[in-house]
Structure 1
């Protein structure tokens, strides 16, 4: 009887985990499409960048509201507002590359981001490895990133900018690994929070690849 109860609990846990994973990927796909539509509209209409202050307030404000409503239907609304806002912020950046005749770099950055996501997700889903051991390294990496970014404000060294972009890619890749692992091991129960984490990681990877490829192309 006890063994049957344990088996039932285990099956229930697996079903719940699969549901979170399915809902995460479904919501992620929809928000990526929505964000791309917003970015496309910004590019087409040549709308201006919202600026540093508005971007900072918008990103962190919407992230807070999304996390606060992570377990109710309002969270889905805030996820779309958050990802749509990020799509708006990336539109002017893409326009600058297109205006400079670097449309191929935008395509390469998109392809690189997609490949990174599918490769990392496939690795975790296939191996079922627990990636929680990355938590400590990510904390250390976050501190290094902050210090490097502050330093680059004053130094403005191209090599340092490249290094920061590379660190962002590594940090965001680790975040995707950890988040996917957390879902399949039952540590993450909110598909809304999982979607935000993965989306923001993909956003950072895309922007970082644009910067790296842009700098390398200008050097040529």
Structure 2
């Protein structure tokens, strides 16, 4: 069977359309779960691997290159798309390892990480469930979310130079709101036919989960007096 039949460009109508959307949803969440598990595995490696501490920029550059490769191959239903997804998410987990290790060494560090994981699961799960059950179209949020994302990125870059604790907390709060909105937006694209390629949606949702977790780590660390320095 051709891959164009496995991943149709647009859902059909009626029974076939509903079946196509359900298939996309199942494949998307299966791939998302697999990538999150793989990232967890590589994050554990990153917590112990000297390379992850010595070459974080190199790892992030490789991750961005692999992300562009995923977008290119995933948009063309290439058989290389899924292996590249695991390359990308594995590198992201590897880069996350030293960050988690740093939090774990703080006073109350294990509870911060555990609460961030739980909070991420609750936020992602509840928003995804709402979008799936309500079937509301959240495409109208796209412009607002893109603007918010640009502001978060620019503010994060600015804080790399100014090192303002207050700004860092504000940026984390904004990121939490933006990526919560993106969970609704990306899930809506999947169930309303805006995007029918599981690879593309799974990577988008993976990034939503990852950034929710990072934002919660930052917020909880600051609130408990253990802000990362």
Same fold by TM-score, threshold 0.5 exceeded? yes
User: What residue is the counterpart of 1:82 in the other structure?
Assistant: 88
- Aligned with residue 65 of structure 2, among 61, 67, 70: 61
CA positional deviation for 1:64: 0.8
**Residues 46, 92 of structure 1: 8 Å contact kept:** no
Task: Tell me how far apart the structure 2 counterparts of residues 138 and 19 of structure 1 sit (CA, whole Å).
Answer: 27
Q: Secondary structure at the match of 2:184?
A: helix
Give the length in aligned residue pairs. Answer: 213
TM-score norm. by structure 1 comes to 0.90
The answer to whether 1:198 aligns with 2:202 is no
Q: Secondary structure at the match of 1:69?
A: helix
Check 1:43–1:151 CA distance in 2 against 1; reply closer, same or farther (3 A cut): closer
- Aligned with residue 97 of structure 1, among 103, 106, 118: 103
1:113-192 to 2 correspondence within 5 Å? 113-192=120-199
User: What residue is the counterpart of 1:25 in the other structure?
Assistant: 29
**Residues 47, 97 of structure 2: 8 Å contact kept:** yes
Larger CA Rg, structure 1 vs 2: 1
**Residues 63, 88 of structure 2: 8 Å contact kept:** yes
CA positional deviation for 1:73: 2.0
User: What residue is the counterpart of 1:5 in the other structure?
Assistant: none
Q: Deviations over 1:137-186 (max 9, x none)?
A: 01221232233223322321111100111111111111111111111111
> Cα RMSD over matched residues?
1.8
TM-score norm. by structure 2 comes to 0.87
Task: Tell me how far apart the structure 1 counterparts of residues 35 and 88 of structure 2 sit (CA, whole Å).
Answer: 9
Check 1:189–1:163 CA distance in 2 against 1; reply closer, same or farther (3 A cut): same
Task: Tell me how far apart the structure 2 counterparts of residues 105 and 120 of structure 1 sit (CA, whole Å).
Answer: 22
CA positional deviation for 1:43: 2.3
In the alignment, structure 2 segments of 5+ residues that lack a partner are 1-11
Segments of 4+ moved more than 6 angstroms: none
- Aligned with residue 208 of structure 1, among 215, 224, 227: 215
Q: Secondary structure at the match of 2:139?
A: coil
**Residues 60, 92 of structure 2: 8 Å contact kept:** no
